[in-house]
Amino acid sequence: MQVDKSADHKSKTSDDTIQLNPRRKMASNKQSLNSSPISSDQNSSPKPKDGEGQSASLNSFRETMKDVLEEITSLEINTMIVGQIPMKKFDIKDFYMELVENIMYKTEEGLQDVKEALLGRSAKLKQKGLLLPQQSTTPLLPKEALLIEEYRAELTQYNQDLETYKEAERVFNEYKNSSDPQKKDKFELEQSCYRELAKRIFKLDIKKDEHGEIVPDGQMIRYFRKLWEFEQYVLNGERIYAQTKFHLDGDLTNRFLDDLFIPSKSKIDPKMAQLVFDLHRQGVENAQKQWSGLIETCVNLVKSLMPFRTTK
């Protein structure tokens, strides 16, 4: 990639300039996901206060209950054998930032987008440099000195982003062209994983605050937790050996890996296969009890709220 490092002049970053290193520059990154910043419009309708018609806290609780009821209409139990259990807990903001960074720097499509953005920034920087006041024996005006200082700051950021891109491209090509089967497999696995995750999140309308951080609600947290679990099990090479799904309408689905039934096909010892069956059955029984208890609790809460329903 031919992208020149411009001379040491710089101005303020323009709005359409993509900022790399998304962990630090997500707020100004136009390559990030479509977002809907939260409005601070002073003319928006005030929230109802407790005691005025319907309680705001009660209404919020009802909405939460509605989300919960929508999520508990089905139950899924998976039994997996894993090589390691991650110590890091799920955090939606950290996961989102890391996921966008991985999509940008670990996929061919993401690196191409970054490259095109850098080329555009390079051209703009060169153009801005030509328009800067020339230094001479005459002292610069404060406004002129500020323009040069801002330009140098923008140039420094550009050069840092360029080095980040070059390193990511080097690692990408190293794995892509590697003759090591393990590195090659890891590369293909990451490509398929992050392409799939990119398709799932780029279609979302994600709300962000004035600082560019996402503002998650309950539904978004649950959705991103599923994406996080998908990433974990794909990248770690985990296999689901047994799966059971319950639905409120009465449907029940059991799936088992055929390796559990064909010892000659797999390396699973029959005793180990029986242990998987036993663990899965116990997990299903425990999950079903908790699920039934949760549904009963929600139903009782709804019944208790009936006397406070809004009358028209």
How many domains are there within the chain?
2
AA identity, residue 178 = S
Predicted local distance difference test score (pLDDT) of residue 7: 41
Last residue of a domain, one of 178, 211, 236: 236
Encode burial over 115-128: b for 16+ CB neighbours within 10 A, e otherwise: eebbeebbebbeeb
pLDDT tens, N- to C-terminus, the chain (312 residues): 444 444 444 333 344 433 444 444 433 443 443 443 434 444 444 444 444 445 566 666 666 666 666 667 778 888 887 777 777 788 999 999 999 999 999 999 999 999 999 999 999 999 999 988 877 777 888 888 898 999 999 999 999 999 999 999 999 999 999 999 988 988 999 999 999 999 998 888 888 888 888 888 878 888 899 899 889 888 877 788 899 988 877 788 898 888 888 877 777 888 888 999 999 999 999 988 888 888 888 788 777 777 766 555
Q: The tokens 């996929």 sit on which residue?
A: 107
Rounded CA separation 99/1 (Å) = 25
| 225 shares its domain with 280 | no
Last residue of a domain, one of 219, 236, 253: 236
Quick check: is 312 in a domain? yes
Predicted local distance difference test score (pLDDT) of residue 29: 43
Q: Which residues contact 238 (CB under 8 A, 6 or more apart)?
A: 80, 81, 82, 83, 232
Q: Is the pTM of this model over 0.75?
A: no
| 61 shares its domain with 196 | no
Predicted local distance difference test score (pLDDT) of residue 57: 65
| 67 shares its domain with 162 | no
| 279 shares its domain with 264 | yes
Predicted local distance difference test score (pLDDT) of residue 119: 96
Predicted local distance difference test score (pLDDT) of residue 15: 40
| 152 shares its domain with 213 | yes
| 127 shares its domain with 187 | yes
228 C-beta neighbours (distance < 10 Å), count:
21
| 113 shares its domain with 218 | yes
| 128 shares its domain with 166 | yes
Helix, strand, coil tally for the chain in percent (to 5): 55, 10, 35
| 228 shares its domain with 248 | no
Return the SS3 of 152. Answer: helix
| 229 shares its domain with 93 | yes
| 208 shares its domain with 266 | no
Quick check: is 149 in a domain? yes
Encode burial over 16-54: b for 16+ CB neighbours within 10 A, e otherwise: ebbbbbbeebbbebebbbebeeeeeeeeeeeeeeeeeeb
Residue ranges making up the domain that contains 265: 55-82+238-312
Q: The tokens 């090591």 sit on which residue?
A: 180
Quick check: is 95 in a domain? yes
Quick check: is 187 in a domain? yes
Quick check: is 28 in a domain? no
